[in-house]
Amino acid sequence: MNADLDRHFPAEVWEEYVLGMRSEEDCKLLEEHLLICSTCQDLLVQADEYIRIMKAALAQDAPADPGGKPVTGAGSRKSLSKPFKASAALAGGMLLAWGS
């Protein structure tokens, strides 16, 4: 048990705990450890804060995205060109239909 006291849980584990990604059994262990370990209490607070900031950043990003940001990534440009080509072909077909 003493060896356990010396071993702290990494920040990663606390982040997963905050996110609810840890099993019930893990949560019990973590909460028991929290009662006796101020180091991990700090880690938990930091993890909690980190995740709140992350979520806030994601929430800010999401609504601003459509149409707002210029497309810079080659990957996203690739994914954009496909539907564009499809609709261009469709428009071309429609023009041909109208012309005849």
Neighbours of 5 (CB within 10 A): 10
Residue with smaller CB distance to Zn ion, 1 or 97:
1
Q: Give me the least distance between CB of 28 and Zn ion, in Å please.
A: 15
Residue with smaller CB distance to Zn ion, 39 or 60:
39
Task: Let me know: does 50 contact 21? Beta carbons within 8 Å.
Answer: no
Q: Which helix (H) or strand (E) holds 97?
A: helix 74-99
Residue with smaller CB distance to Zn ion, 28 or 55:
28
Q: Which two tokens stand for residue 12?
A: 């990663």
Q: Give me the least distance between CB of 14 and Zn ion, in Å please.
A: 10
Binding site for Zn ion (CB under 5 A): 8, 37, 39-40
